[in-house]
Amino acid sequence: MTGEPTAHEGRSYLVTGGASGIGRATAEVLAARGARVAIADLDAGGARRTAAELGGHTLPVTLDVADRDSWQAAVAAVETAFGGLDGLVNNAGITRDRTLARMSDQEWRQVVDVHLRGTWLGCQAARRLLSASDAGSIVNISSSGRHGSFGQTNYAAAKAGVVGLTKTVALELARAGVRCNAVAPGAVDTPMIRDVPEPVRENWLATITLGRLARPREIAEVVAFLLSPAASYITAQVIDVNGGELHL
């Protein structure tokens, strides 16, 4: 049977934080649709395992998004393996939660470095290859936490920063034919929120119209759409995928 090729077939993508949670789900969706996917993660073993489990045209890459040299090496590895790049997903993330009164310099710096500087470095490192594509696209992962989140001054500031960065990259790269958007998930059932105490989770659920957390796949589908030609007139946008959070 010869079906119509999917929008992602034969395209090349790099997903940071691809060994877990939302990044893994995104890599899975893209790989299942015939794309080549670089699964880039600080957790080298996790990236290798994920690539082996997903199969298809997946490439494990060791990457620290907060390190410029690491980005250069990762993009070079992707260029060698895939010959180019059509899409970048800046998804890798960490949390170091602490109230304003107690947060250390290190906790501030680590979170801002990974989310904000890491996304900026990724856009810089991938710019040349994405500009050479006829469908270059960047999707940055922000968060509903950008509106303010107790115990997360570092994370909220970084995720709000990702929005300004996204809109500016969209402006600067438009003439090269590269779109840049952000997806802002609400609470998603991944290892990142595994240690959140039960009362806090219950508070979350009370404010979510759909009354449940998101599954990683529900974020991945939106990311895949934004990477695809079906989204060719969407740039500089933030797409909230939060089940209808009532406090926003």
| Contacts with ligand NAD, residue ranges (CB under 6 A) | 16-17, 19-23, 41-43, 46, 63-66, 91-94, 114, 141, 143, 185, 187-188, 190-193
Listed in sequence order, the residues at least 6 apart from 198 whose beta carbon sits closer than 8 Å to its beta carbon are none
- Among residues 86 and 113, whose Cβ is nearest to ligand NAD? 113
Task: Note the Cα 132 to chain centre separation in Å.
Answer: 21
- Among residues 32 and 192, whose Cβ is nearest to ligand NAD? 192
Cα separation, 130 vs 140, whole angstroms = 14
| Shortest distance in whole angstroms from residue 35 CB to ligand NAD | 19
Q: Nearest residue to ligand NAD, using CB?
A: 21
| Shortest distance in whole angstroms from residue 5 CB to ligand NAD | 29
Q: For residue 211, count CB atoms less than 10 angstroms from its CB and return exposed for 0-12, middle for 13-18, buried for 19 or more.
A: exposed
Helical pair 21-32 and 216-227, crossing angle rounded to 10 deg: 50
Q: What three-state secondary structure class fits 186?
A: coil
| Shortest distance in whole angstroms from residue 104 CB to ligand NAD | 18
Catalytic residue list contains 13: no
Sheet holding 179-185, edge to edge: 57-62, 36-41, 12-16, 87-90, 137-141, 179-185, 238-241
Q: Which one from 71, 82, 120, 155 is the annotated catalytic residue?
A: 155
- Among residues 52 and 174, whose Cβ is nearest to ligand NAD? 52
- Among residues 141 and 227, whose Cβ is nearest to ligand NAD? 141
| Shortest distance in whole angstroms from residue 25 CB to ligand NAD | 8
Q: What three-state secondary structure class fits 14?
A: strand
Q: Which residues are catalytic?
A: 155
